[in-house]
Structure 1
Amino acid sequence: MTNEPVNKDIKAIDAKPEVLFERRGNMGLITLNRPKALNALSLAMVRELLATLRAWCDDPTVLAVAIRGTNKAGRPGTAESLFGGFCAGGDIRFFHQAALAGGAELAALDEFFTDEYTLDHLIHSYPKPFMAFMDGVVMGGGMGMGQGASVRIVTERTKMAMPETAIGLFPDVGGGYFLSRCPGHVGEYLALTGAVIGADEALAYGLADVKVAAARLPALWESLATRAFDSSAAVEQWIATELISESDRTACATGTIDAYFSLLRVKHIVDALEASTDRWALRTAAALRKRSPLMLHVTLEQIRRARTMTLADDLRMERTLVHHCFHLRPGERSETVEGIRALVVDKDYTPKWSPARIEGVTAAMSAAFFESPWLDGEHPLRNL
């Protein structure tokens, strides 16, 4: 943790701390500082974020919070290195290692998800203005934090996605909640395919609030840190005047997506896409054929259940789902372990999914993921 001002902390941006916390004026400022890993979240980072944000909740001198990520492409020691990459998600190499090791490491993995989902819930319900500078890569756990912010800032460099089905996982960290609230059936589309979208689509789909030129970010951050605010309401007024008033939401046409992703079953969706002569439909079908067939079924059910859930109930459901991702089929048998192995560890890009095809997944296989492993009153997120 550091209390040094931003212009001084630039010199230390490659130092050991994976999260930099600052107090400047009446702002609490957070910089994710793990650029070589695209600011992927570790258990230690999640716990530091939780502890600090809880402390700032109760600190009357902190009127608002802002979070950003560092950029491995930027030259160390420059303002540009402080933007350009928000957060690529959780540390999936740790997921793979812990799941195979079992014992204490697997227990730490369980703790990671409990703490991460608790952090996401805290950000969504934060009692003070919370600004997320969602520049560059914003995926997985980065979406979990960013979507909870009261002001979600994107740029022309934003690459936003929930790509979990590609590694045999599902869009967690509240993904069921915020994706299911996209217009039409865009949520099912983004969740199943893991499609990467830019700033304009994020605005249109309700996943961002304002688009700002990336070149403006350093000055905007500095303005927040140096401006004299006398209340959280004053910060909100400044945001409304300086940021939100400039935002231009593009029209959102979802007809093509809805025609396919409103269908009842995964097989119905894929069959309809493959029967089309449209190039987008055929590319989308090909992408789905590469995803974990089992987790496609789990994900579709997750999104549709979450549409009528509160955030807390959705996170509790997702905590059950992620438990089963590593415990229902332990070790190498886990779809998630196999997906990470193929795409990140061995990089052979040929995951051996089980079942291998969408047509091989039964309703019972998917339903097992939604059965709670905990007795009533024992769920790790029961207090949300």
Structure 2
Amino acid sequence: MALSLTFTRETDQVLFAGNSYVKEVILNRPQKLNCLNYEMIRQITRNLTSFENDSSVKLVILKANGKAFCAGGDVKSVVASALIAVMGGGAGLSMNTIFRVVTEKTVFAMPEASIGLYPDVGASYFLSRLPGYFGLTGAQLNGAEMVACGLATHFVPSKENGKERGAKKWIADALNYMHSSSPTSLKIFLRSVREGREQNIEQCLCREYDVTTHLISLESDFFEGARAKLFDKDNNPVWKPSKLELVSKEMVDQFFKEIDDEDCEPLQLPHRSKIQSKL
């Protein structure tokens, strides 16, 4: 089944600046916490491809206007109203850079399972390199924690120091998140991150593309999660199955099958000749 997309065109959602050697890509949708939509992705892809093929370009800087770098994909126009900093698709956008600069105000999270999806955009690659199963918790990391676990490369303090959360609260938040999330989504990501530990970024992205296509094509928890979190906003999704022990291996397997639909366009990844050896 082909997925239909509709979107409203906005102007200057992504700004491009710089000189012959250094280019800047600036997300410019601060009122939506720089949520990525289809048109923004098209603009970014087109310009990054041009930069890649320009031998004079030595550095590309990704930045954003407003208080958030990117709060993920624009599932609905108001989806990011309560999110901050780097989440979901914003994480995928930033993780494939060589330098990732954070402050004590930075917040990083991959909370997709709470709406019946699962962490994709390369998450099974960069999260599988961390100890444990961070993607299952939906927990938030601050800037210092991102540097400590390797998700960020540089820490630059801002003028105000944020408060650190205690370990007990972190654990409680993680458990509450998992209890409220889709059991199917949690099991999908558990398998995805385990496979990602043995794969390169291209293999991870291709696998995630297939899984996500199945999630939005088959009967899945995504539609119920979107209803409860984004549309009706009752925050009371009815997951099917409702418990982890009811999600069988066969149920998870169906999301990892190769796409066999002539209406579904295969994922086409660009050749990254300049930075391939550095990732």
TM-score range, shorter chain: 0.7 to 0.9
Question: Which string of whole-angstrom CA distances, capped at 9 and with x for unpartnered residues, describes residues 190-214 of structure 1?
Answer: 2111101101110111100011123
Contact 1:161 1:194 in 2 (8 A): yes
Give the counterpart letter for 2:186 in structure 1: L
Question: Which string of whole-angstrom CA distances, capped at 9 and with x for unpartnered residues, describes residues 149-184 of structure 1?
Answer: 1000001110001111111111100000000011x2
Deviates more, 1:358-367 or 1:204-213: 358-367
User: Aligned partners of 1:86, 1:180: CA distance in 2, in Å?
Assistant: 23
Percent sequence identity over aligned pairs: 35
Counterpart position of 2:4: none
Residue 184 of structure 2, aligned match among 269, 272, 294: 294
- Does residue 59 in structure 1 map to residue 42 in structure 2? no
- Does residue 322 in structure 1 map to residue 212 in structure 2? yes
Query: Number of aligned pairs?
Result: 250
**Cα distance change, pair 281–25 in 1 and its aligned pair in 2 (3 A):** closer
Aligned-residue RMSD, C-alpha: 2.6
**Cα distance change, pair 317–379 in 1 and its aligned pair in 2 (3 A):** farther
- Does residue 160 in structure 1 map to residue 108 in structure 2? yes
Residue 156 of structure 2, aligned match among 197, 212, 219: 212
Counterpart position of 1:339: 225
TM (norm. structure 1) is 0.61
User: Aligned partners of 2:21, 2:170: CA distance in 1, in Å?
Assistant: 48
Give the counterpart letter for 1:54 in structure 2: T
Contact 2:138 2:178 in 1 (8 A): no
Counterpart position of 2:277: none
Counterpart position of 1:88: 71
Give the counterpart letter for 2:225 in structure 1: G
Give the counterpart letter for 1:158 in structure 2: T
User: Aligned partners of 1:157, 1:282: CA distance in 2, in Å?
Assistant: 21
Following superposition, the deviation at residue 280 of structure 1 comes to 6.0
User: Aligned partners of 1:350, 1:296: CA distance in 2, in Å?
Assistant: 17
Following superposition, the deviation at residue 293 of structure 1 comes to 0.7
Counterpart position of 1:305: 195
Following superposition, the deviation at residue 370 of structure 1 comes to 0.5
Residue 49 of structure 1, aligned match among 41, 44, 49: 44
Unaligned runs of 5+ in 1: 1-14, 72-83, 97-135, 217-255, 257-277
TM (norm. structure 2) is 0.82
Question: Which string of whole-angstrom CA distances, capped at 9 and with x for unpartnered residues, describes residues 269-302 of structure 1?
Answer: xxxxxxxxx8765553332110101111111000
Give the counterpart letter for 2:230 in structure 1: V
Residue 349 of structure 1, aligned match among 209, 219, 235: 235
Contact 1:86 1:137 in 2 (8 A): yes
Unaligned runs of 5+ in 2: 1-9, 161-166, 271-279
Give the counterpart letter for 1:30 in structure 2: V
1:5-44 to structure 2, matched below 5 A, reads: 16-24=11-19, 26-44=21-39
Counterpart position of 2:252: 366
Contact 1:180 1:304 in 2 (8 A): yes
**Cα distance change, pair 16–289 in 1 and its aligned pair in 2 (3 A):** same
Residue 88 of structure 2, aligned match among 140, 147, 150: 140
**Cα distance change, pair 281–158 in 1 and its aligned pair in 2 (3 A):** closer
Contact 1:289 1:358 in 2 (8 A): no
Counterpart position of 1:193: 137
Following superposition, the deviation at residue 86 of structure 1 comes to 0.2
Counterpart position of 2:163: none
Give the counterpart letter for 1:28 in structure 2: K
Contact 2:139 2:170 in 1 (8 A): no
Counterpart position of 2:97: 149
User: Aligned partners of 1:279, 1:87: CA distance in 2, in Å?
Assistant: 25
Bigger share in helix: 1
Counterpart position of 1:123: none
